[in-house]
Structure 1
Amino acid sequence: MAERRAPRWTLLRYPDYGRLWLGHGLSLLGGHLSTLALPLLVLEQTGSATAAGLVGTARMLAYLVSSLPAGALADRLPRRAALVLADLVRAAVMLAVGVALWSGSALPIVLVIGAGVVDTVVSAVAGPAGTATLRHLVPAADLPRALALDTGRGLALGLIGPLLGGVLYQVAPALPFLLDAVTYGFSLALVLAIRRRLGGGGGSAGATLRADIADGVRFVLRSRFIVLYLVWAALMNFATAGITFGLVVVIGPADAAGLGVAMTVLALGGIVGTAIAPRLSHWDMQTLVRLSTASSVAVGVVITLAPHPVVIVACVGARSLLAPAAGILFNAQVFALVPDAMTARVQSTLYLVGGAFYPFATLAAGWLCEWRSPSFAFAVFTVLLGGVLALTLLPSLRMRSPDQPGPVGHEDSLGAVAGADLRQHG
């Protein structure tokens, strides 16, 4: 494919990328509908908040267990086949739940939780497989823009999907699941309509799934650039998630509508940030990381001193304008660093490690708020962010981008090999 750069808002004129973008977006929308509807269904049938919470816990554990094997499987299978099978399985599961509810049948809680687990495990294969196809659909020069569009789509659907799911569930509990199945059907049709080859299916002869997983993890660990970024991302995700949950505590259930508005503002800030991100794709990675961290520290200081809901929303919303840029640039550079045959398993490793501390952020924030106060919680997370900023300023921990020349002995040898492989065969 010619390395021609698309105009700013015409990336979807790459027809096959447009089909993938729309199909994945539809499946994401359907996924948000059922993600909300499943715990609501359990809560309605059992009256137990603990049982309803089991749905989310089971899905999180399923993702943690299946993430690495799913990435390796996504590389082994032809990527079109992986996406088609994922849509077929997810559509069948959600259609079965929807039809059972529509007919008035009471579903055992084990089956409801099982439906959520199956959806999660299959999505763990489809996610990295879909991301890995981008290099086959978009010129390398436009990857940052494509990744920004993907990120913005995810944020927008995360805002719309749960609201729509709640409304549909109130109309009829079966509707979110039936619509989810329909979205997977449309996604399947769009994937089948893609004309270009999507790669995959090139696993090593005789290699076990375990060996493939180990290869992906080794690739990540041997790249100093990737490891440093992952450490930074994991700590930043933990701290910023804790601060965001602190906002929930500050506003509280007494003003649920106000909390909804606040979360909407934060999501909109992230969407705008993804639109700005491609304009910053020429910046040095280290500069973006430092600016993003410094802005987070500044936000933490302000909201610690003035923990008012309006102040918190304004500061966190403004910070989210810059936050997506480093992640989008990093992911674009990973595509240049990783061979096509390993893209999915490396992506699944990145997702798993980058979000490793994320589930504990709300627990830590809630405990700190209850033990002392929201201001104290904000102060703790701000100190953590300050430590992360100090680490980014150390010369020995410079996050050198793969395409930047460095001193002999400090380059990623595996990354250099991967880059050569892409230049020869891409």
Structure 2
Amino acid sequence: MEKNCEKVPPEGGWGYLITLAVFIAHFTTAVPLASFGIIHGQFLASLGDETAATSISTSLFVAVTCCSGLFGGILFNKYSYRTVGLLGAVCHLAGSILLFFANTLFQFIICVSVIQGLAGGFLLPSAFSSLNDYFHKKLSLQTAIAQLLITVATVVNPLAMEYCVQSYGYKTTKIVLIGCSCLNFFAMWSLHPVEWHTAAKKEKVTSDHKNITSHAEKGALLGGEKEIDQAKLDKERQIEESTSTYMSYFDLLKSAKYLNIAIGISLTFHGDNLFVGMLASVLRSINYSSVDIAKLTMVHFGCDLVSRTIYAILSAFYSFNNRYLVYGSTLLTAIFRILFIINDDYAWRMGILVILGILRTFIQTPYSLVIAEAYRDNFSRAFTLFSVLSGLTSLLLGPLMNLLKGLTNNDNIAVQVLTGGMLISVLMWTVEFVYIKLSKNNNAIQIKS
């Protein structure tokens, strides 16, 4: 009996190196932000205002990383993920080497925010897109594992960098950073085209398929209209595939569904990250001691780490609807964020931060999976466009928070801005879910009638 061969992703093997590559890409780009002040604080303070320099450098780094993802995504049309990723590795290493010789704030911003930000826009989409190709059934599990490693690195990195700076000095620490940049070459080299490791899955030809084939052969023998129809079908299929492959990036922006997903995730993602970044400032504004602040933040990140571990284990046995997971977590986070600011009691805030730490897992881990589930065949374009929208969202939320905080001199106002953004995300997705539900009900009624 004749059989067809269908290409299936490896779901393992070399794909595990791709998971490691996702971790390394984050380890060299996003993780160092957790220890940015520890590494560069004294140097920036010697140049003037440490706080302003840190804020400008980090916000510009995030913006350049997100926006340059679009350029990296366009390169995917012509070059492989590995080629684009290696270009990012070269840029990141160049930024690290030039940083060693930087003596002014302008030079520092060019090296860290611009050059390494550009590198991040190449490294992260390349790694995520390759992971999406290597895993379908196990994508949630591998993403959870990568995020778990990233969280562990985020917790350990400040301690390690503090030790390096105190024991060996700033210049030696920059040499360590150059060594970390070299890891990107291994990570991006491992992004082999999935075809190199794809298995062939054989499937039996169904009776309907054999009948169609038989009729097509008869039509070909007759030399009649069926042969012409088949040629038209082949041509239409080629046009459709070509359109899908070379579709303009901006065509996705015409999709209300895509915009709803991308903007919703951006508001939620940055609403969570910015809250974590200003948590110490909020606690300090209500006269919490440094020891209390350290305990509260440690509990928050500890719960996040534990819940990510549990999520990774569960992902090995169960599949989740990641969009509903993010949706529910965003709603609960907004509710508990409101509860967080209405009471200054230490035990109260400790309990709320435990819950927020747990919920953080279900926002930070599955956000890329939401895009993968909706746009698996067009993931690289969808993800890089999301990166641009995410960068614009960050640029919008940051100044808005600073403006309101400056006008009111109240850190809670900034928290409420972030919470409001998350509630807008929940509202947008609720409208979409209700619309889809009503459309299905109307279609069911029409079919019955």
TM-score above 0.5:
yes
Task: Give yes or no for contact 1:285–1:326 (8 Å, CA) kept in 2.
Answer: no
Q: 1:181 is matched with which residue: 175, 178, 182?
A: 178
Q: Which amino acid aligns with 1:352?
A: V
SS at match of 1:174: helix
Q: Please state how far the C-alpha of 1:316 moved relative to its aligned partner.
A: 3.4
Q: Give, in whole Å, the separation in 1 of the partners of 2:142 and 2:380.
A: 17
Deviates more, 1:304-313 or 1:28-37: 28-37
Match of 1:18 in 2: 16
Instruction: Determine whether 1:227 maps to 2:229.
Output: no
SS at match of 1:76: coil
Q: 1:186 to 1:135 in 2, by over 3 A?
A: same
Q: Please state how far the C-alpha of 1:78 moved relative to its aligned partner.
A: 1.4
Match of 2:353 in 1: 316
Q: 1:316 to 1:236 in 2, by over 3 A?
A: farther
Task: Give yes or no for contact 1:62–1:121 (8 Å, CA) kept in 2.
Answer: yes
Q: Please state how far the C-alpha of 1:166 moved relative to its aligned partner.
A: 3.4
Q: Please state how far the C-alpha of 1:121 moved relative to its aligned partner.
A: 0.3
Q: Give, in whole Å, the separation in 2 of the partners of 1:29 and 1:87.
A: 13
Deviations 1:210-236 (A, max 9, x none): xx9982232254261x33223332333
Matched residue pairs, number?
377
Q: Gaps spanning 5+ residues in structure 1: where?
A: 6-13, 101-105, 201-211, 411-426
Q: Please state how far the C-alpha of 1:375 moved relative to its aligned partner.
A: 5.5
Q: Which amino acid aligns with 1:167?
A: Y
Identity of aligned residues (%): 10
Q: Give, in whole Å, the separation in 1 of the partners of 2:402 and 2:58.
A: 18
Match of 1:357 in 2: 393
Deviations 1:307-364 (A, max 9, x none): 3354334323313423443665563353354365x43232121123245434554655
Match of 1:294 in 2: 331
Instruction: Determine whether 1:133 maps to 2:170.
Output: no
Instruction: Determine whether 1:216 maps to 2:249.
Output: yes
Match of 1:68 in 2: 70
Match of 1:85 in 2: 87
Match of 1:268 in 2: 302
Task: Give yes or no for contact 1:19–1:193 (8 Å, CA) kept in 2.
Answer: yes
Q: Which amino acid aligns with 2:123?
A: A
Q: 1:228 to 1:53 in 2, by over 3 A?
A: closer
Q: Please state how far the C-alpha of 1:383 moved relative to its aligned partner.
A: 6.0
Q: 1:386 to 1:122 in 2, by over 3 A?
A: closer
Q: Which amino acid aligns with 1:18?
A: Y
Match of 1:417 in 2: none
Match of 2:206 in 1: none
Match of 1:205 in 2: none
Q: 1:174 to 1:92 in 2, by over 3 A?
A: same
Q: Which amino acid aligns with 2:263?
A: V
Q: 2:292 is matched with which residue: 251, 258, 261?
A: 258
SS at match of 2:358: coil
Q: 2:169 is matched with which residue: 152, 156, 172?
A: 172
Deviations 1:290-322 (A, max 9, x none): 522331243134223313354334323313423
Q: Give, in whole Å, the separation in 2 of the partners of 1:191 and 1:289.
A: 29
Q: Please state how far the C-alpha of 1:29 moved relative to its aligned partner.
A: 3.2
Match of 1:122 in 2: 119
Q: Give, in whole Å, the separation in 2 of the partners of 1:315 and 1:270.
A: 13
Task: Give yes or no for contact 2:73–2:381 (8 Å, CA) kept in 1.
Answer: yes
Instruction: Determine whether 1:111 maps to 2:107.
Output: yes
Match of 2:151 in 1: 155
Q: Give, in whole Å, the separation in 2 of the partners of 1:409 and 1:222.
A: 22
Q: Please state how far the C-alpha of 1:261 moved relative to its aligned partner.
A: 3.6
The correspondence of residues 255-404 of structure 1 with structure 2, limited to 5 A, is 255-277=289-311, 279=314, 282-284=319-321, 287-325=324-362, 328-329=365-366, 331-332=368-369, 334-338=371-375, 342-354=378-390, 356-361=392-397, 364-365=400-401, 371=408, 373=410, 385=422, 388-394=425-431, 397=434
Q: 1:163 to 1:222 in 2, by over 3 A?
A: same
Task: Give yes or no for contact 1:39–1:56 (8 Å, CA) kept in 2.
Answer: no
- Normalised TM-score (structure 2): 0.68
Deviates more, 1:259-268 or 1:274-283: 274-283
Q: Which amino acid aligns with 1:125?
A: F
Q: Give, in whole Å, the separation in 1 of the partners of 2:47 and 2:304.
A: 36
Q: Which amino acid aligns with 1:271?
A: L
The correspondence of residues 404-419 of structure 1 with structure 2, limited to 5 A, is none
Q: Please state how far the C-alpha of 1:19 moved relative to its aligned partner.
A: 2.5
- Normalised TM-score (structure 1): 0.72
Q: Give, in whole Å, the separation in 2 of the partners of 1:384 and 1:333.
A: 19
